[in-house]
A and B are shown apart, each in its own frame.
Chain A
Amino acid sequence: MSIDLLTYLFIGGSFALYIGIAIWARAGSTKEFYVAGGGVHPIANGMATAADWMSAASFISLAGIISFVGRDGSAYLMGWTGGYVMLAMLLAPYLRKFGKFTVPDFVGDRYYSSTARMIAVLCTIVISFTYVAGQMRGVGIVFSRYLHVDVNTGVLLGMAIVFFYAVLGGMKGITYTQVAQYCVLILAFTVPAFFLSAQITGHFLPQIGLGATLGTGQSVLATLDSLSVELGFKAYTDGSKSTIDMVFFTVALMAGTAGLPHVIVRFFTVPRVKDARTSAGWALIFIAILYTSIPGVAGFGRVNLINTINGADNTGTTYTEMPSWFKNWETSGLIGWYDHNGDGKVQYAAGDAFEGSKPAFTEGAGEFGQRLVSNPKMEPAAVNGAPFANEVYVDRDIMVLANPEIANLPAWVIALVAAGAVAAALSTAAGLLLVISTAIAHDMMKKTINPNITDKQELLYARLAAVVSICIAGYFGINPPGFVAQVVALAFGLACASVFPVLLMGIFSKRMNTEGAVTGMLVGLVSTMAYIIYFKFMGGSPDDYFFGISPEGFGTVGMILNFASAFLVSSMTPAPSAEIQAIVENIRIPRGAGQAHAH
C-alpha cells in the first residue's frame, strides 16, 4: 500500500476511535464537564495527563531542537519532566484536597478576593491561548505534508474533531479520549525510535543505543561530536549557554510546568488526595518513556541527516540524486537549497545559507528542479574550518516527522508517526480549550458576574465558550503569529512568575493575605511580560540582558520578585481571618477530600 493510503487509514482510524469514545463518555453535569465527575482511575489519569502535557512541541519539535543544539537542549528535557516532581510534592495533593474545579477557584477562595480571582483568570486565558495556537499549527503541518491538503483545510479538520469531543464530552470525554491518544502517540514515537536505534547501533532501546559503539570503534556521541566539529558546529555534547542562563531557564520551565492551569486541573479529576500523588507518578512514567527516547532520536537523526546530505565521502550529494523526502519537505517550504558553489551538489555545514537564515521562495524551478529562492547569502563562506559553505536550510520541526523517511523505514511507520503527531497536538489542544471555557463559564460568569445561573446554564456557557475558543484557536492556526516560539516562552514565563508562586504561598504560608498575593502576582506578571516584550518584540540587544539571563529564563526572576514583594506587602498588612487560616490547615491534611468536593 502507498504511504498516502496508509496515512489516510491511520489518521482516519484514530479519529473514528476518538469520536466513538466521545459519544460513549459525554458529560451531563458541570461536574462531569469540568472534572469528569472526580472519579478517574489514577493510571487512566496519568495517561490522560501525559497526553495532555505532551503537545506538538514535545512530539514534533523537541527532538529536532536537541538534534540541532545538542547539550543546550537539556534544559527542556529536565525542565519539562522535573516540573512534575514539584507538582506532585508541592501542589497537586493540596489543591485536590481543596476540592474545587479550577486554579482561579483556589486563588479566589484562598485569598478571599475577586481581584485575585480575576488576575488568575487572565493568566489562565493568556497562557492557554498562547499554547493552543502552536497546537493548531502542528496539526496544519502534518496535514499539509501527508494528506496533501492545504494547511488551512487541515486546521479546519482538526478544529472540527476537537469541537466534537471537547464540546460534547467536556472533561469526561477529553479524559478518555486522551487515554487513547496517549497510546497512539507513544507507539508512534517509540516504534520508529526502536527501528532507528536498531538500525544504527544494533540495540533496540534508544536509551542504550545512544551510548553504543559503532562499527568504526567510536561511540555514537563521539561520532556526533567529530562530525559536528568538522562541519564547523560546536561539539554535540558541549554547551554554549552560560551556566546562570541554563539554571534560570530550567527553573522557569520547571516552575512553569508546575503552574500550567491545564496540567493542574487534571489532578482535580481523581477521587482521593492519595490518588493525586499516585497519578503524578504514573504521568511522569508515561512522559519519561517519550522523553528518555528523545535524546536517542535526536542523535541518530542528526547522524543520518548529515550523512545523507553530505554523502559518504563528505563532499555533498547531487541534488537530482537526493531522496524523495528532501524534495517533499522542500515543497512544504521547510527545507531550502541554494547551490552557492554551482557544483549541483547539496552541502550542509555550519552558517546561514540564506540572508536572515530562512529561505524566501519564489515561483518557478531551477536547473535541477529545485525551488528558487530570492535571498541567497550574499557572500557565502565556509565557517569555523568547515570544508564548504552551507547551502541548506533545514527546519528543526521536521526532524521527527522526516526521521523515518531519512532512515528508509517501512511505509506504515511513516503513517503511524503522522497519526501520533496529530494525536499529540489534538489532545493538548482539547485540554487547553477546556481550561479556557471553564475559566470563562465558571470563574467569570458563575463566580463573578452572575452567581445565580443554574448548573444547566453554566454548562451552556461553558460549551459556548469552548466553541468561541476553538474558532479563535483555528484563526491562529491558519494565520499563525510569526513568533510562535517566542510566545511559548511567554506562556512558561507567566506561569512561572504568576500562577506557581501564588499557589505555593497559598498552601505553605498561612500568613499570606490578599494584599501580598495580588501584589506578588502583578509584580511577577508585569516584570516578566515587560522583559520578554522588550527583548523579543522590540529588538532589545542580548548584550543588555540582566546578568546574561535570556527572556526565556526571566520567568525565574519574575518568580523571585513575586515572592519578595508578596512577603514584604503581607508583613505590613493584616493577617488573613481565622476561617482562611483554618482552610489552609485543612488542605494540609489528606482525609476528608470526598466531602469537600461538591461546591
Chain B
Amino acid sequence: MQIDINKSVFERNDALASQLRKRFSENHVYVVDICASPGAGKTSTILATIDALCDEFNIAVIEGDIASSVDAERIKAAGIPAVQINTGGACHLESSMITRAVDVLDLERLDLIIVENVGNLVCPTDFDLGENAKVIILSVPEGDDKPLKYPGIFEVSQAVILNKVDTAPLFNFDEEAFRNAVQTLNPNAPIFPISATAGQGVEEWTEWLAGEIRRVQET
C-alpha cells in the first residue's frame, strides 16, 4: 500500500534555523553567513570587517572548518570571541551546529555574529542557518565565470564581495562579465569589489553591513 509522507528533507534543519532566527531577532543580533571557496579570503575579509566595525558593534565569530582551529585563533588574536566548529568532514554548516555554538555566546550583549562557513561554493547553498544574510565572496584569481558554474550560492546571497581586486592586473578577470552574470542571477544583490588585505573597497562593504545591522537594532 501507498503511505504518503510529504515531508521536506530540509524540515529539521529549517525548523532549527527558524528557532535561531527568532532568538537572534529577540536579542537584536544581526547574523551574516560568509560563504566562499577555500582561499577566497573569508578570514581576511572577516578580520578587515571586524577592524572597521568593532568600535560601533559588539562582534563574535563562528568558524566552520572541516578540521583545525587556525581561523578561530586568528580571530581571537584580534580580541574578538570566536567559536570553532569542526565539521569532521562535512562540507557545510547546519543549523544544529550553529545552535550549539550560539549557546556559548552571550547573545544579549552582541550586535553582530559573523559565521564563516566551510570553504565550498555548493553545499552551504541549501542550508538555512537562521542568518539575516548570506554573503558570497569570490576572489579574482578564481575567474569571472564562477556565477555561471555555481549559480545557487550567488542566487541565495544578499550581497556579493569580489575580493583580491588588487591582483586584477595579473589575471584575465572580466569584471563586467562577472557583474552581468551576478545581476542575471540576483539583480538585488550589491557587489563590493575589495582587497581585504590592502583595504581597498572595505569601507563601502562595511558601510552597507553597518546599515543592515542598524536596521535590525532599530526594530
A pairs with B: no
Hey, which bits of chain A sit against chain B, CB under 8 A? none
Hey, which bits of chain B sit against chain A, CB under 8 A? none
